[in-house]
Every structure is written in C-alpha cells, then in structure tokens.
Structure 1
Amino acid sequence: MQYAKPLRRHGGIVALALYAAGMTSAAQALEITLPPETARYTPSDLPGFRLVQQNCMTCHSAQYVLTQPPSSPRGYWEATVKKMKKPFGAPFADEDIPAMVDYLTKTYGAERTAYAAASAAQGSAPAPAAPAVVAGSHDPQALLAANGCTACHAVDKKVVGPAFKEVAAKYANQPGAAALVAQNIRAGGAGKWGQVPMPAYAALTKEDLQSLAGWILGR
C-alpha cells in the first residue's frame, strides 16, 4: 500500500504525456498543402467576365464553373449566382447579377454554342479557354489583360487586391524584390494583403513573371 500512490501518480504523468503526443500527431495530420490553382475563367468581351473574375474568386476557384452541367440553362446560372449572394454572402451588387449570369450562360452553359456561332459570324469569336497566356509575348500589358489581372487590381486604387502602386511601395528598395514579386504571382496565396486569396499563375513562364514583376515595381 505504501507504493500505490506514487505508482498512480507516475501512471497519470505517462497518460498525460501520451495524450499530448497524440494531440500533436493529430494536429500534424491535419496540415494540408493544396496544389497551385491553375483554373481560369474564360476571357470574354462580355461585361460579366470582369464581374465574375472580380467577385467569384474571392471565395472559390474557377474550377467550380467547370464542374457544372454544360447544358445548364440561364435559369440555373441565375439561381446559382443568387445563391452565392444569399445565403453565402458574396458582396456583389444586385444590379451586377444579370451581366454575370449572361457571361456564365454564354460561356459555360446551354447558350455557349449559339453564342460562339453568332460571335464567329460577326468576326469576333470569344477568346479561347485557359491557359490565358500570351504565347511568345512578354509584354506586361498583354499579360495583364490575358490573365484577368485588372479584374482584381488597378494601378492606383484597391479593387479586390492591392493597387499596383501599393505593391511597388511595399517592396521599394528591398533586395530581391523582383524575384519575390514574381514568386508571389506564380504561387498565389492569401494573408499578405488580407484574407482574400489570389489564384496561382503557375502556367506563366519565368520570362512572363519577370516582365510582370518589373512592370509592377515600376509603378
């Protein structure tokens, strides 16, 4: 009986140690690294393209629309867009809904074939699908337009992401700034300028990334 209490105390310490080790292992097991985002919304002259690019990617990948039934009618896309606003709380204005629905229906839904045919007949076929990269061109303005960068960024004011001038000011005189900005574009992410995620642009070449980074830092 003299040794019962010390043994129980020792057993309790061991149990706590094992519990803590188990919690650590469980926490480590929950760490998940997602692959770089490569899905892009199909570029278009339709006004809804910019609105979709600006609003939808703040919450989810462009992969979402690619998994929807291609025969989905306009009513389906309207219900989907409205659902994103209520109950999910997407911050776009009600007056933007028709343009967003029009773009989604004509690009990914039941009207895409007819719209493409009508555009081709008028000599202004919609732009091809992703990857939205200008082949053989490292012109920063062309790259910005082709990859939808201006849907979330402007030169001198915050849109969804920071203004290009804000980025330039943050990295001014910082050693290796161009390489760092290029890597941020390639990898995407969230947390540097708020919690709204920026998609990764892993399909861009090293030269494209350097061109964009140099242009941004020159603002």
Structure 2
Amino acid sequence: MRMNSLIAALALSAAAGGACALDIQLPPETATYKDSALPGYQLVQRNCMTCHAAQYASSQPPASPRAYWEATVKKMKKPFGAQFADEDVPAMVDYLVKTYGAERSAAMPVAAAAKPVAAVPATSGKDVKSLLAANGCMACHALDQKVVGPGFAEVAARYKGKESVAAVAAHIRQGGSGKWGPVPMPPFSQLSEADAASLARYVLSR
C-alpha cells in the first residue's frame, strides 16, 4: 500500500510539473563567425548557423588540430543531419582550424565588408531555381510557410511596395538578425549583385 501511494504521489507531482512549464523567450542571436577571406568562411556562415550559434566554434579548444575540426564538421553532417555538400567540408575545416584552431597563424587577411547595392543590376542569366539550390536557400525557407526563416510569401507581403529589389538584394548579400526572429540570416556576399537581384525579384513576386 505504501509503495502504491508513493508511486501515485510521484505521478501527480510529475503531472503538475508538466502543467506549469515555462515559456522562455531567448534573446536574439547576435554572435557571428570571424570575418575571413578564406572560402570556407561563407560556407560556415551559410551551413552552420542554421542549427547553432557562432559561439560553438569559439568555445572549442584553441589548440584543436585539423583532424579535430574535420571530425566535428563531419559529425554535424552525419549523424546530426546538417544539409551541406561533402565537397564543402575541406574548405569549412580549413576556415575553422585557421580561425579558431591550431593553425590560426596561417589564416588569410580579413575580407572586406560587402558593399551596399546602389542600383538594380541586370538579370544574371542564371536560373533562379539553380541559384536557390546552389545557395541552400530552401534549407531555411519555403514558398508559403516558415521553416527556419520566413516563407517567401511572408517576405513579399512585408516588403512589396516598401523595399526595392536592390534593397532586398542587399539584405540577401549582407545577412542580418532581428528582423524575423532570433535566428540570424548569414550573409551571402559570394553572390554577385545580379544573382542577388534575381533572387530578390523572385521572392518579391511570390
């Protein structure tokens, strides 16, 4: 009888605790990866911040060798399921080990900041679907619903008539945080102005 009473009391306590769950609002993410001219910088910005903050890299042991970072990046892809191509791994590892790990002295100079888009460039000629796929846009966005970031239809509804194609293209190339919630959008400065404008037109047309 005593055991049954104890089990019942514990069950009630657990149920009460579940009913009083707290709704915790986390502050917006502001940390970013260190700027670099290394090709892996853009790949890390694009592929890693979908799932975790930039502090993850800076919190790793600073003497970590290349093998450590390679194992870490591969672990994110499998078993954790990060959506980036196998061919991205060497450049990502190179950036991480030269920026946060044992090869920091071998890092290249800091990249220059992306310049704002002053005017709408001509269409690049590249297919928009190819641009979406090549830059992993659909890993965070869908056409009409929120995934990690807002759906394109929601972006179009907010910006159409208020933001020009050039302004939206600049948002794409420069990234940002706080506009659509706590998850930042990494910069896509590897895009040409024409390609960014093509994507901006596509988003605003939804």
Report the TM-score, using the length of structure 2 for normalisation. 0.54
The percent identity for this pair of structures is: 53
TM-aligned CA distance change 1:33 to 1:41, over 3 Å: same
Q: Assess if the C-alpha contact under 8 Å between 1:36 and 1:187 holds in 2.
A: no
d(CA) in 2 for partners of 1:168, 1:110: 41
What's the CA shift for 1:165? 7.5
d(CA) in 2 for partners of 1:200, 1:67: 21
In structure 1, the residue matched to 2:122 is none
Paired residue secondary structure (1:29)? coil
Q: Assess if the C-alpha contact under 8 Å between 2:66 and 2:101 holds in 1.
A: yes
In structure 1, give the amino acid aligned to 2:70. E
In structure 1, the residue matched to 2:3 is none
In structure 1, the residue matched to 2:40 is 48
Dislocated runs of 4+, deviation >6 Å? 215-219
Cα deviations across residues 19-67 of structure 1 (Å, max 9, x unaligned)?
7xx74x7444332111221110112221111111111111111110010
In structure 1, give the amino acid aligned to 2:88. D
Q: Whose Rg is larger?
A: 1
TM-aligned CA distance change 1:111 to 1:165, over 3 Å: same
TM-aligned CA distance change 1:41 to 1:141, over 3 Å: farther
1:93 matched to 2:80: no
In structure 1, the residue matched to 2:99 is 107
What's the CA shift for 1:92? 1.1
In structure 1, the residue matched to 2:148 is none
Paired residue secondary structure (1:83)? helix
In structure 1, the residue matched to 2:157 is 170
What's the CA shift for 1:188? 4.3
Return 5+ residue gaps in structure 1 as ranges.
1-18, 120-124, 143-153, 190-196, 202-214
Q: Assess if the C-alpha contact under 8 Å between 2:44 and 2:92 holds in 1.
A: yes
Matches within 5 A, 1:1-219: 23=16, 26-115=18-107, 119=108, 125-127=109-111, 140-141=116-117, 157=132, 159=137, 160-162=139-141, 169-171=156-158, 185-186=177-178, 188-189=180-181, 198-199=183-184
Report the TM-score, using the length of structure 1 for normalisation. 0.52
How large is the RMSD of aligned CA atoms in angstroms?
4.1
Return 5+ residue gaps in structure 2 as ranges.
1-11, 119-128, 144-150, 187-199
d(CA) in 2 for partners of 1:90, 1:218: 28
In structure 1, give the amino acid aligned to 2:90. P
TM-aligned CA distance change 1:173 to 1:218, over 3 Å: closer
Paired residue secondary structure (1:101)? helix
Q: Assess if the C-alpha contact under 8 Å between 2:29 and 2:177 holds in 1.
A: no
Of Structure 1 and Structure 2, which has the larger fraction of its residues in helix? 1
d(CA) in 2 for partners of 1:49, 1:102: 9
Q: Assess if the C-alpha contact under 8 Å between 1:71 and 1:110 holds in 2.
A: yes
d(CA) in 2 for partners of 1:30, 1:92: 34
TM-aligned CA distance change 1:200 to 1:81, over 3 Å: closer
Paired residue secondary structure (1:110)? coil
d(CA) in 1 for partners of 2:104, 2:154: 38
TM-aligned CA distance change 1:218 to 1:42, over 3 Å: same
